Amino acid sequence: MAELSGGSEPVAVPLWPPGESPPGFQYSPDSVAGADGEIDPTEITFPGCSCRSSSCAAPECSCLGRGDNYSGPCLRGAEQEGFARPVFECNALCQCGESCPNRLVQRGLRLRLQVFRTPRKGWGVRALEPIPRGTFVCEYAGEVLGMAEARRRVQAQSPQDSNYIIAVREHLHDGRVLQTFVDPTRVGNVGRFLNHSCEPNLFMVPVRVDSMVPRLALFAATDIPAGEELSFDYSGRFHNSPGSSREHKPLEEDNRLRKPCYCGSPTCASFLPWDSSLFSTPDSSP
């Protein structure tokens, strides 16, 4: 059976059905600097902890002291309310060992996943083994772009093109917003094949390792049986409740630019999430 990652992942990523493969792209387990060169996600800017133990613990560990950890509320997913503290893993400059439990996302893919052709949604990803709730599944890796390049790429797409660019906005308690744009169209990993669902079984957590550029880590929001397709909500929510007002409703004329949603969930919004900030509109023209 064909393998997607070319041996670059700790675990093979098989393709299904035999003889078919998605359009070509460069596989990379980790995010890379985009063509605009504005942001380098591999740059090490955080100091390391001085923990001598192979298992860091709060409050002694300076990395854990910066924010939340994996035994805290960051993995509550649907139940998360209000502000969540950021997640910082131990990094390349830390004194702790590779077995430290605060090194999770940086270890890469550890689960058996399969990229497969779906009936209506193109390619998708499914689990080949049961995945317990709260388990790290994979990263959404690609080129990390600045706002201008992300907007340029989106506007250059035709209606038939798939849009892989994701915009993550983290709202700080002081009102500032940190924006991260990741595009796995040309360079990416298995995460680029995850489809949207209005009732997903994964949720995203921005995790920082070496710098302020977050890794977009996807965790299991529920116990996932083997064979089930994996999905997350492209808008960043975990669940579309009936009558939800958490997403701005696009103008009717914007719907012609939107792509239909085929998730099939009872609360399906009919269209994939819409980010108007990446499009030029007459109202926003100078």
Q: Is the pLDDT of residue 239 over 90?
A: no
* Residue 87, φ and ψ in degrees, nearest 5: -110, 125
For residues 1 and 245, the model is more confident at 1
Q: Is the pLDDT of residue 19 over 60?
A: yes
Closest alpha carbon to 123 in 251, 230, 208: 230
Closest alpha carbon to 187 in 231, 153, 141, 134: 141
For residues 67 and 5, the model is more confident at 5
Contact 121, 198 (CB under 8 A): no
Please indicate, yes or no, whether the overall pTM of this predicted structure exceeds 0.85: yes
Mean residue pLDDT of the chain comes to 87
Most confident of the following: 17-21, 168-172, 260-264: 17-21
Beta-strand relationship, 113-117 and 15-16? parallel
Q: Is the pLDDT of residue 252 over 60?
A: no
pLDDT interval class at 76 (50, 70, 90): low
What pLDDT, on the 0 to 100 scale, is given for residue 43?
A: 94
Pull the structure tokens for residue 99: 């077995």
* Residue 234, φ and ψ in degrees, nearest 5: -60, -20
- Domain range 1-240+261-274, its CATH number among 2.60.120.10, 3.40.640.10, 2.40.128.30, 2.170.270.10: 2.170.270.10
What pLDDT, on the 0 to 100 scale, is given for residue 284?
A: 42
Q: How many residues comprise the chain?
A: 286
For the chain, give the percent of residues with pLDDT over 70. Answer: 87
What pLDDT, on the 0 to 100 scale, is given for residue 160?
A: 82
Q: Is the pLDDT of residue 115 over 60?
A: yes
List the alpha helices (DSSP H) in 102-201: 147-156
Report the alpha-carbon angle 271-276-282, nearest 5: 120
Lowest mean pLDDT among 156-165, 247-256, 260-269: 247-256
Contact 138, 191 (CB under 8 A): yes
pLDDT interval class at 93 (50, 70, 90): very high
What pLDDT, on the 0 to 100 scale, is given for residue 257?
A: 64
For residues 227 and 240, the model is more confident at 227
What are the boundaries of each domain within the chain?
A: 1-240+261-274
For residues 77 and 75, the model is more confident at 75
pLDDT digits (tens, 9 = 90+) for 198-235: 999 999 999 999 999 999 999 999 999 999 999 999 98
Beta-strand relationship, 166-171 and 177-183? antiparallel
Mean pLDDT over 89-112 rounds to 95
What pLDDT, on the 0 to 100 scale, is given for residue 96?
A: 94
Contact 86, 66 (CB under 8 A): yes
What pLDDT, on the 0 to 100 scale, is given for residue 172?
A: 86
Contact 201, 228 (CB under 8 A): yes
What pLDDT, on the 0 to 100 scale, is given for residue 248?
A: 45
Q: Is the pLDDT of residue 37 over 70?
A: yes
List the alpha helices (DSSP H) in 85-226: 147-156
Contact 182, 143 (CB under 8 A): yes
Rounded Cα distance between 182 and 167, Å, is 7
